[in-house]
A and B are shown apart, each in its own frame.
Chain A
């Protein structure tokens, strides 16, 4: 039986079709979409730029930028609806949801969009400090950004805390109890009575928590996490269960006031969890909070649960020794076994003073008599054990370990731009674990030493020799003191020393691999919005690009001070600059506005919809504004192809066939000429088009001589697989197979090129304004088995990477992006892509083994390079 609409559809073809939207109108809409799309990407990049510290912005900017962005994205969706004549309900819903999250953030309400009850350490970073608490969020940075070893584990989130408190009716009792105390205090009951009242309330609340029940979903998630850890480390592992509260380790350290439970077997984790929660309501902590004006709803206790380290030696390190007589030194306290006695101050410890200068030499040390050590007991808990007689009076750190420890601590300090208090441990396998890192408040001491901290810095910089100043674009604010290391080749990159200052000719995504080791970055050319700049901001590496002079004025081994806050490079070390930064009131990265902008950008900038051929490439899967624009861009291009196809059947000639040397079968729509071509001209030459990107691509194809017209011999296996392969991955729009289309203007090209069974997309804009320029290149598909196709993908990726594209590979899909280069260099990149399209046309057939990947990449680069050099002359 037919539904009513079904019947309507059945007879639809009898009725004359609704007159289509005029072609000209649709083209106009397409152009508007491209324009708006670029405006959105630019605004997003602009907002990202602001995180680097070079700009001064205020809260009002954040609100205005978000408003403008929301408005642009909304209009973009409306544009698409007009172009495709669809309502795009899913897209509007996705938009509404993102917009709502942004509004909540702006209103100061932290939305937990992915409110998990537990989160593994590998997912933690500073941006989830609301969920994970400060301590574990920092530890997440240390592990995930800085790449240092931390004990494996997870966090039981603040969300779980709130659930626990509600489930056991504690929240209400806390509020009522405090209200009662406040009322009693008002009746002038005296301070002693109020103190006693708080003690009693504390007792009541802690008992309630300790006797409470962990809500089932929380308990289940904890059990699941423990299973994962047991699978990784063995059944018998013991845990350290530690507080990770809001505000802990920040401006008020709460140092040592919260509860930690060590050596917990998995069966007792829930009990330990409750003990740590109860610790948030001890009379001491509660008073500390009340005295500092914390509101009760600002109390949230996330709890870390981490594998115990089998510590051979542990301790604490301050990157600035808190003693006036030890200028510019760090101090290490160390003892055998677990570190708790060092932190409590209950054990005798070895003390080492280390010079903060680059050599990190040991200045002096004292070895203590250490007869006992704290260890985990096999069944759980901790206990004291005698130290072997010959080790009792021996130093517990070797010079090599001291070096590693000092270097590691400096890495952490550089990242946080604050002196650090680091808890650490070495195990018997010589792994250095970071157990905790928190800012060390050292301002008072320095203030005593010098009434006006800016005096010494001004004097020091006046006397220092300026190598260059005011050149290029500052990407990330900060100060770096260290030795220059000039990177020209991949080999240089592999030898990059820890703590050096990276100096290069241009920016490239390849340098991401030394981002953790680099203390600063200076380049000759490059843009503030390139991929490397984004990384420099993410890793907080002081960076200045496009100086024009870096590699000519700086040589490997030169000691310099890079101060990007004044955009100046000084000869030699100017430690006063470093100190000025480390002791300033607050690093800008930690201010509320920067944190807000960072949180907002998480809802805006990440791109999750990468592969248009994946199941997940759909409107309802858009989680950020970037996703929405990406999806719309794809759909708009698709729609334009459909429209132009319909039209050239009807009007007989809107796109014209390009006369080219190679049989590309390329139809071209020239946006400059408008939709109606000159009568009778069914074909067009490259010259008459005058499209910069298309011309460069075709030049590359022709000049490189890489369009091999000889059929490559195909062995039988590959050939058969091409028969049995379905079109699933290679056919986004099956109607378009074998038809190639370029939509061009003078600066723009959108190319869909299917050659044989593989599919290239290039979307590019090359104009005089460097900031508008970009190339997006996508390559997919092939004729042979998956193994060979993915080899080809890797080969292409390798080539693109060497040419400084930002590359993503997913199976046999390669996406390369590059942007914001001057037109000459953009044309070069396009020329290379032309060559690459020719070269790789049948490449998968030649890639028999993994070694072929490198060989072919090298061969291609060798053949293409002369073309580029000729063009550079």
Chain B
């Protein structure tokens, strides 16, 4: 009955969230904090980009369509800087083409807006599982 999948390690998983609509950041931040993650949110892609240039995040959640640097570019840059970072693309303009392109560029998952908070939390947990597995394989 009990399904405790909350992260138990003392080092918190670090998440960066980028969406030009503040409401998305405002909703996601407390939800992830409460689930034990360390969260930073950005509403403009230039500052988010500057942040990932200097700091490694375990997980990045990004919108696609934004002013300035768009999500596809951001995704590409994040994967260049840190291939093991899991990236989730969230978008209100979901098409098969953008989904394909996102996966080709290394996105872990592609989620259409609006989405349920529980779904995005699940996605992030799946990334963590995979990252743990990869780490184990490398170590073993």
Contact = CB atoms under 8 A, between A and B. Distances in A.
A565 interface: yes
Contacts of B1: 467-468, 549, 553
Contacts of A648: none
A61 B114 contact: yes
Contacts of A466: 2-4
A59 B34 contact: no
Contact of A591 (B19, B26, B28): B26
B114 A55 contact: yes
A443 to B, nearest CB: 13
B4 A469 contact: yes
A191 interface: no
Interface size class of B (residues with CB under 8 A): 20 to 34
B113 A458 contact: no
Secondary structure type dominating chain A contacts: mixed
B118 A469 contact: no
Interface string B83-121: 000000000100000000000000000000111111011
Interface in B16-49: 19, 21, 23-24, 26-28, 30-31, 33-36
Interface string A460-477: 011000111110001001
Contacts of A580: 30, 34
A567 B27 CA distance: 16
Best-surrounded residue of A58, A61, A461 (most CB of chain B within 10 A)? A58
Given A55-B116, A591-B26, A565 B31 contact: yes
Given A54-B116, A60-B92, A462-B8, A469 B2 contact: yes
A42 to B, nearest CB: 15
A567 B35 CA distance: 11
A678 interface: no
Contacts of B2: 466-469
A56 B120 contact: yes
B113 A57 contact: yes
Contacts of A592: 23
A55 B3 contact: no
A64 interface: yes
A566 interface: yes
B21 A58 contact: yes
Contacts of B117: 53-56, 477, 565
Interface stretch (A317-325, A382-390, A506-514, A582-590): A582-590
Contact of A56 (B6, B8, B35, B114): B114
Interface in A36-89: 50, 53-61, 64
A454 interface: yes
A549 B3 CA distance: 14
A793 B121 CA distance: 49
A59 B23 CA distance: 8
B24 A56 contact: yes
Given A56-B27, A584-B30, 19 more contacts: A54-B117, A56-B120, A57-B113, A58-B19, A59-B23, A60-B92, A60-B113, A453-B33, A454-B30, A461-B6, A461-B34, A462-B6, A466-B3, A467-B1, A467-B2, A549-B1, A553-B1, A567-B118, A586-B26
Q: Which 6 A-B residue pairs are closest in the complex by CB-CB distance?
A: A57-B114, A454-B33, A58-B21, A458-B36, A60-B92, A55-B114
